[in-house]
Amino acid sequence: MQIRAANLPLLAPAIAWALDRREQKLVRRAVKRRAELGATFIGITGSSGKSTTSALLAHILGGAGKVKGQHGANIFKALARTLARMPANMDYVVAECGVGRLGHMAPMAGLLRPVIAIVTLVALEHKSAFGSIEAVAAEKAEMVAALAPDGVAILNGDDPFVSAMAAMC
């Protein structure tokens, strides 16, 4: 069974067609579960500092409600698995989103649909995959682009590539 972009409008076709049947089922469950949950979804990305930021934020938010943190395993499949298995009683979901190639962030951010997006910094990580720091910045900016209309972006003002993302809000 080939997945179609129309079936999962939140996913870029480049990711959707590559999924095997088991992964397709997982992503469908994740999309359905994400739509059912009333939690505040927070997406964190950046060339570094993602794991620390997501762990600290999850700990802090734990004082205000039930939190599900997804850090360390920061790839698309891990995010889909986290969302698909999400308990209904969560108040906050803090998800670390990393990328290894161009085109990976948009599907992750589309699946997460963050209400809050945090971008820590942009650096030339994975230079061979991205080619330039501008390409890294564009990829990380997909998290900000996926914000809900009333969403909030928390951007590193000390990083000119990240602070430029404010124009997207």
Q: What are the angstrom distances between the C-alpha of 127 and each of 29, 102, 131, 133?
A: 34, 11, 5, 8
The predicted-structure confidence for 13-47, as pLDDT tens digits, reads as follows 445 655 677 888 888 889 889 999 999 999 999 99
Superfamily of domain 13-168: Mur-like, catalytic domain (3.40.1190.10)
For the entire predicted model, the pTM comes to 0.88
Residue 74 has pLDDT above 50, yes or no: yes
Mean pLDDT of the chain: 87
Return d(Cα 124, Cα 132) in angstroms, integer: 7
- DSSP-assigned states of every residue in 31-77: HHHHHH--SEEEEEE-SS-HHHHHHHHHHHHTTTS-EEEE-S--SHH
What secondary structure letter does DSSP report for 149? T
In angstroms, the CA 95 to CA 13 distance is 22
Q: CA 136 from chain center: how many Å?
A: 15
Instruction: Round to the nearest angstrom and report the end-to-end CA distance of the chain.
Output: 38
Rounded Cα distance, 74 and 51, in Å: 9
